[in-house]
Amino acid sequence: MSSPTPTDIRPPAESPSVPPGFPWSLAVPLAVWLGMTLWAAIFVATYTSPIPFMDDLELVTGLGPEGRTDLDFWWAPANEHRILLPRAIYMGLLALTHDFRSGMWFQVVAQSLLALSLILFARRVRGRSSLADAFFPLLLLHWGNATNFLLGMQITIAVPTVLTSAFVMLGTLRPGLPSPRAAAWMGVCTFLLPLNGGFGLTQLPPLLLWMLVAGCVALRSPDPSSRRSGRNLLAGVAACVALVIVYFIGFHFPEQHARSFDAPSIVRTAIQFLSLNLGPIAERFRLLAPLATAGFGLLALWWAFRAGPRERLRAGVVLAGIAAAVTIALSVGVARTESGYSAGLAPRYVILPAPYAISAYLALCLFGPRALAELIQTLATLALALALPHDAAHGKRLGEQHLGSALALQDAVSAGAPIDAIVVQNWRAFYPSPEGFRTRLEWLYQAGYPPFASGTGAGGRSAWPGDDRHFMFTPRPRHIREPVPGLPRRVLQENAYQLRADSEVWLPKAGDAQKLQARFGVLPNAWNGALGAGRTTDGLAFVVEWIEGEAPPRELARRVLDPVRSEADRGVQSLELELPAGPGELVLRTLNVSGANQDLDWGFWARVEVR
């Protein structure tokens, strides 16, 4: 890119004027923005829980009266990411709200404000609004972003997306150099990016390169304002480089993360990553999505390269924004290719490549032929709109699974289950290891946060563990044989005891008892698909046996439930039996019927009474 002459970089007279009045071409994008914001808010309100999951659980060491928030808490890497800024934002929100959902709401607000800013910004730089500007809320607020909306620490994804997009807007607000104030804010954006870990750090090189070139060019200008802009840009470069040096002091990549240096694999993963501009549907259209994404960017680049001398610096900002997305895509290719063939299509990345699409869209606003640019933008907007049903299905599936796990944990705690049983039953949904989950549950308990608090505040705690775990049995069991610890919980409005196949509950018979009454069934999450596609039980057998002395067991009742295939086998079933005369014992068995993997063969007994 050749350096413009001093006359090229003097501030222009004014940006394109915006027509007076309130045109319908602006009303429609604003209506879409409002609708998409409400849609994202409905998702958070419906499916999120005040109980922290996964990365959110790492914050609990800083909560409560004994919380630890030393330098190591803020600066220690999470995997290979130093995420001081997201931690600070999230901890500040928790201090204000005592609710882990505040991190999810922050993402909705941040992405909604970014979408609104881009709608108004496109109107300003183009000189008018376009119906196609609905592109921005469709890109940033769909339910395909469910993985991020369900975890507060995914602020780590939202913040660098906002910062890179803000950098591009500040740099393209007018032809030539940005104003001194805009240049200073561009420096702030780049300085904050590394504080979001690798998601921000890897986007820096193209942005810093533009700042360095533009700053050096500006210092040659006879205009004092341009020279101030140049000094601000170069100061931002120096501060950012210093921070990056500090970032890597004592830094090391986690040993468990393999990195790939196979060029074709890296490129494949990077292309997958960039195709996520279309949302999770990119996994279904593995050829069309990358082609559409690449075509959109290449057309924008073509007209940016053709910009006249007076627009070269502004075109350079757009190129830097696109390049920033490409550099993070390549870094994902290096760092994540070894995790699988579809490594670049991880749902948590959906919002990350947005600066690529945003920069390309703005390039068309600035440099493309009016009619052709609007046609391309309209086609891109329609593609995002057509993906909404897929986004909705994707989000609903993940949301139901997430909420089901949260409710199961809350039920177990409310029922007074011991911590060992709670950990065994729930750790897979909440943390990578049972030991780590147990430790973090204890921290949550000490800090008074859900699932141990009433409501969403740090108030009272649940009784944990409880004194009587078998209150749904009368009389209480003499012995329970369980392959893994069962636990009491609320199931389908019943106080039930949850057991995995193959288990036995031994009940003594009172001398004059004549009947057994009981309720039983299969746990809903074992058959309704909430744990993921294909992860369901293959059925359970519920058996009642009578044992008297040394005589062989006598089967009194057997019922096989297959709720995946039979609606009649869903819900709560009832049982009433006449008991044999004389002393003896009842055994309630919950059995695997196929001999296959029984990890999801979970049943329950409720309101068991011998009378």
Q: Are residues 480 and 376 in the same domain?
A: no
Over residues 115-123, mean pLDDT: 96
pLDDT of res. 460: 35
Residue type (1 letter), 323: A
Chain-centre distance of CA 341, in angstroms?
Answer: 21
Give the model confidence (pLDDT) of 390-407 as tens digits.
999 999 999 988 988 898
pLDDT of res. 457: 33
Residue 584 belongs to a domain: yes
261 vs 519: which has the higher pLDDT:
519
Q: Is 548 strand, coil or helix?
A: coil
User: 72 pLDDT exceeds 80?
Assistant: no
Report how many domains make up the chain.
Answer: 2
Last residue of a domain, one of 327, 362, 394: 394
Write out the E strands in 58-205. Answer: none
Q: Are residues 389 and 478 in the same domain?
A: no
User: 13 pLDDT exceeds 90?
Assistant: no
Rounded-to-integer distance, Cα 213 and Cα 69, Å: 40
Structure tokens at 462: 């649940």
Over residues 501-523, mean pLDDT: 86
User: 530 pLDDT exceeds 80?
Assistant: no
Residues 6+ apart with CB under 8 A from 510: 475, 610, 611
CATH of the domain at 600: 2.60.120.1060
495 with 471: CB under 8 angstroms?
Answer: yes
Rounded-to-integer distance, Cα 28 and Cα 432, Å: 45
Last residue of a domain, one of 362, 394, 426: 394
Q: Are residues 167 and 274 in the same domain?
A: yes
What percent of the chain is predicted at pLDDT more than 70? Answer: 90
Peptide bond into 290 cis (omega under 30): no
Peptide bond into 86 cis (omega under 30): no
Q: Are residues 386 and 477 in the same domain?
A: no
497 φ/ψ angles, rounded to the nearest 5 degrees? -115, 120
Over residues 247-269, mean pLDDT: 80
Residue 453 belongs to a domain: no
CA angle 275/276/278 to nearest 5° reads 85
Kindly state the greatest CA–CA separation across the chain.
Answer: 109
Weakest mean pLDDT among 264-278, 310-324, 456-470: 456-470
Residue type (1 letter), 100: F
Weakest mean pLDDT among 111-115, 117-121, 420-424, 511-515: 511-515
Q: Is 81 strand, coil or helix?
A: strand
Residue 7 belongs to a domain: no
427 with 316: CB under 8 angstroms?
Answer: no
Pick the closest to residue 610 from 476, 519, 468, 474 (CA basis). Answer: 474
- Containing structural domain, residue 510: 473-610
Per the prediction, the chain carries an average pLDDT of: 85
Residue 454 belongs to a domain: no
User: 516 pLDDT exceeds 80?
Assistant: yes
Structure tokens at 496: 């039930």
Banded model confidence at residue 532, pLDDT cuts 50, 70, 90: low
Give the model confidence (pLDDT) of 460-474 as tens digits.
333 444 457 788 898
Q: Are residues 519 and 383 in the same domain?
A: no
Residue 25 belongs to a domain: no
User: 454 pLDDT exceeds 60?
Assistant: no
Give the model confidence (pLDDT) of 332-379 as tens digits.
888 877 777 888 888 889 999 999 999 999 999 999 898 999 999 999
Give the model confidence (pLDDT) of 567-600 as tens digits.
999 999 999 998 888 778 899 999 988 776 567 7
Banded model confidence at residue 484, pLDDT cuts 50, 70, 90: confident
Last residue of a domain, one of 361, 394, 427: 394
What percent of the chain is predicted at pLDDT more than 90? Answer: 49
Taking CB atoms within 8 Å and a gap of at least 24, the contacts of 526-530 are 526/563, 526/600, 526/601, 526/602, 526/603, 527/563, 527/564, 527/570, 530/400, 530/401, 530/404
Structure tokens at 88: 């600070």
Q: Are residues 210 and 305 in the same domain?
A: yes
What angle do helix axes 419-430 and 434-447 make, rounded to 10 degrees?
110
42 vs 452: which has the higher pLDDT:
42
Pick the closest to residue 293 from 306, 270, 281, 276 (CA basis). Answer: 276
Weakest mean pLDDT among 192-206, 253-267, 272-286: 253-267
Residue 9 belongs to a domain: no
Q: Are residues 98 and 224 in the same domain?
A: yes
Residues 6+ apart with CB under 8 A from 582: 548
Residue 421 belongs to a domain: no
User: 35 pLDDT exceeds 50?
Assistant: yes
Structure tokens at 492: 């389908």
Q: Are residues 179 and 326 in the same domain?
A: yes
pTM above 0.85, yes or no: no
Residue 2 belongs to a domain: no
Q: Are residues 63 and 203 in the same domain?
A: yes
pLDDT of res. 187: 95
Over residues 292-315, mean pLDDT: 89
Residue type (1 letter), 513: A
User: 182 pLDDT exceeds 90?
Assistant: yes
User: 459 pLDDT exceeds 50?
Assistant: no
Over residues 240-268, mean pLDDT: 83
